[in-house]
Amino acid sequence: MKNLTYRQANLADLNWLAETEQRCFQQGEAFSRRTMQRMIGNIDNSVFFDILEVSRKSVGYALYLFRRKSTLLRLYSLCLLPAYQGQGLLKPYLRERMRGFAVNYKKIGLEVRVSNIRAQHLYRALGFTTEKILAHYYPDGEDGYRLIKVLAADPRF
């Protein structure tokens, strides 16, 4: 069985990230190379940027944002290359990450398109619940859900 590991993103990942972003997200929604670069530059300040790997090959990324003195962490973006999707690789990774985040953060939140059933399955299986429906949240007018999870020590995760 494949095992997903993670490491911190750095500028050498920029080309790969820009290309992967286009493969994971619709046009107009994908982050630009410049945005990715800015995010990498903010590591330790307001961003956790994980490159997800299988056998040392980059297969996806996860981006978390935080504010100083806030106990809410935001899962800002998550993507796995299509060839690695649908294999349950992300659940153990996210569980491990959230266990670690529980030390410094009380809650983790994210936004997801109402049509992105796959992502919703994943998040709900991890204990996220709907906090709010976000009407016309996306640039094309689609609604979103704000999902939230309390990061208290949870014996299941």
Ligand X SMILES: CC(C)(COP(=O)(O)OP(=O)(O)OC[C@H]1O[C@@H](n2cnc3c(N)ncnc32)[C@H](O)[C@@H]1OP(=O)(O)O)[C@@H](O)C(=O)NCCC(=O)NCCS
Write out the residues near ligand X by the rule CB under 6 A: 24-25, 78-80, 85-91, 112, 116-119, 121-122, 125
Phi-psi region of 102 (alpha: psi -120 to 50; beta: other; left: phi over 0): alpha
Rounded to the nearest whole angstrom, what is the least distance from the CB of residue 46 to ligand X in the complex? 20
Rounded to the nearest whole angstrom, what is the least distance from the CB of residue 69 to ligand X in the complex? 26
SS (H, E, C) 53-113: EECCEEEEEEEEEECCCCCEEEEEEEEECHHHCCCCCHHHHHHHHHHHHCCCCCEEEEEEE
Rounded to the nearest whole angstrom, what is the least distance from the CB of residue 97 to ligand X in the complex? 13
User: Is the Cβ of residue 37 or residue 85 nearer to ligand X in the bound state?
Assistant: 85
User: Is the Cβ of residue 68 or residue 156 nearer to ligand X in the bound state?
Assistant: 156
User: Is the Cβ of residue 117 or residue 150 nearer to ligand X in the bound state?
Assistant: 117
